[in-house]
Amino acid sequence: MSGDVALVRCPEARIYDHGPGHPLRPDRVLLTWDLIEAVGLEGRPTVSRIGCEPASDEVLGLVHTPDFIAATKAAGGGQEGNWSRFGYGPGDNPIFDRMHEAGSLVAGASVAAAAAVRSGDALHAFNAAGGLHHAMPARASGFCVYDDPAVAIAWLLREGVERVAYVDIDVHHGDGVQAIFWDDPRVLTISIHQYVPGWFFPGTGDASERGGAGAEGSAINVPLPPETGDEAWLEAFHAVIPPAVERFRPDVLVTQLGCDTHESDPLANLRLTTRAYLACARELHELAHGAADGRWIATGGGGYQWARVVPRAWTLYFAAMVDALDELPDDLPEGFIEEAERRSHGSVPTTFSEPDVGPGPADDRARAVAEEVRYLAALDR
Ligand SMILES: [Zn+2]
Ligand SMILES: [Zn+2]
């Protein structure tokens, strides 16, 4: 049950680089492309590689304010100004050279994925460089300049698509996308994330956030406690996300596949392994076919174990898109391991599979959260 799959490879997007020491390294995406190619997925006859153009100001303007776009151009062009009011400055969103060009390429890559699915050239499309889900209409946030998933969704709506479901499995709340479509009943946003108000970024994503006036129920949040492990996370995912998406009956499914949920991730505290990613990839693929006639646009997202986890996680999702999970060898190709170790100056895992981390003390609380969300979203009725 698959169809043609587009892989957006946009090497120029590597200029989206906040500089040395920043966790959102371009290597995350470059090594993912390497692994997808090394395991033979890119060479399959159903897979086509597509490039991208920068999103125009007009397309970015479907989501972002003209002032913010102008400020991003000016700040990334070296001009002085009060950029902190647009979210730029030391910390998460340092100003970097050609920031507008970089952000518009990432957004353009997600629009290219959307266009491939919209036209029917592909049934599924993947932009590993995308998933910058924290950016707000007038403000950069959480490493994100332009909100490429929101831009792609807004572009689809402008092209006449009537209903879009957005599923965000990054460890952080998909706050930008939720805020942008808060009042829009055409877009269902669902985010499953770690939640600790007052401490864990971005601080939003409580189960009580359910959409604005006229769009009640169009936002769903599954706020999980730190230390949630594979089984409990999958149970929460399964309890909420497929039934909510199926009920919504979207024309297109858009997913943000952040893998900073991994137990080794330095920026978060969940306890997931590639076991969860494998099961989730299978479930999302089935959901795309079952609820959206297969139309599925996927982006990358967070994930800061850039050599050890990110390439394996996103290759698993891409294998699901290609319907090749069962044929994927467990051992990583030697050439990939050497390249990843050369770039990271460390050792990397040699298999896709990982040992079970077992149950943890937060798992029952995570299950209770999922039940509460099911109740709030009236999924039991
Ligand atoms: Zn398929
Ligand atoms: Zn994240």
pLDDT digits (tens, 9 = 90+) for 58-115: 999 999 999 999 999 999 999 999 999 999 998 899 999 999 999 999 999 999 999 9
- What are 138-157's pLDDT values in tens digits? 999 999 999 999 999 999 99
Phi-psi region of 92 (alpha: psi -120 to 50; beta: other; left: phi over 0): alpha
Choice among 84-93, 255-264, 278-287 with the minimum mean pLDDT: 84-93
pLDDT > 70? residue 2? no
Q: How many CA atoms lie within 13 A of 189 on its CB side?
A: 31
Check residue 91 and give its pLDDT: 87
For residue 343, the CA-to-ligand 1 centroid distance in Å is 33
C-alpha span between 153 and 71 (Å, rounded)? 23
Query: Residue 197: is it exposed, middle or buried by C-beta count within 10 angstroms (0-12/13-18/19+)?
Result: exposed
pLDDT > 80? residue 289? yes
Check residue 1 and give its pLDDT: 46
Closest ligand to C-alpha of residue 292 is: 1
Check residue 381 and give its pLDDT: 65
For residue 294, the CA-to-ligand 2 centroid distance in Å is 26
Question: What count of other Cβ atoms lies within 10 Å of the Cβ of residue 186?
Answer: 16
Percent of the chain with pLDDT over 70: 99
- Give 313's strand partners: none
Mean pLDDT on 197-211: 97
Q: Where are the alpha helices (DSSP H) in the chain?
A: 27-38, 57-60, 66-76, 99-119, 148-158, 175-180, 230-248, 274-292, 310-321, 334-344, 363-376
Closest ligand to C-alpha of residue 323 is: 1
pLDDT > 60? residue 234? yes
- Return the residue matching tokens 């994927």: 328
For residue 149, the CA-to-ligand 2 centroid distance in Å is 14
C-alpha span between 67 and 140 (Å, rounded)? 12
Reference 94, options 203, 158, 18, 193; nearest CA is 18
Residue 134 known to be catalytic: yes
- What are 315-359's pLDDT values in tens digits? 999 999 999 999 999 999 999 999 999 999 999 999 999 999 999
Cis bond before residue 266 (omega within 30° of 0): no
C-alpha span between 254 and 157 (Å, rounded)? 13
Percent of the chain with pLDDT over 90: 93
| 334: DSSP letter | H
Check residue 275 and give its pLDDT: 98
For residue 298, the CA-to-ligand 1 centroid distance in Å is 12
C-alpha span between 348 and 310 (Å, rounded)? 11
Closest ligand to C-alpha of residue 169 is: 2
For residue 163, the CA-to-ligand 1 centroid distance in Å is 20
Closest ligand to C-alpha of residue 322 is: 1
pLDDT > 90? residue 41? yes
Cα 192 to the center of its chain, rounded Å = 12
For residue 120, the CA-to-ligand 2 centroid distance in Å is 30
C-alpha span between 283 and 176 (Å, rounded)? 25
Catalytic residue among 134, 172, 262, 285: 134
C-alpha span between 183 and 185 (Å, rounded)? 6
C-alpha span between 134 and 229 (Å, rounded)? 24
pTM of the model as a whole: 0.98
Check residue 82 and give its pLDDT: 95
What tokens appear for 380 in the block?
């039991």
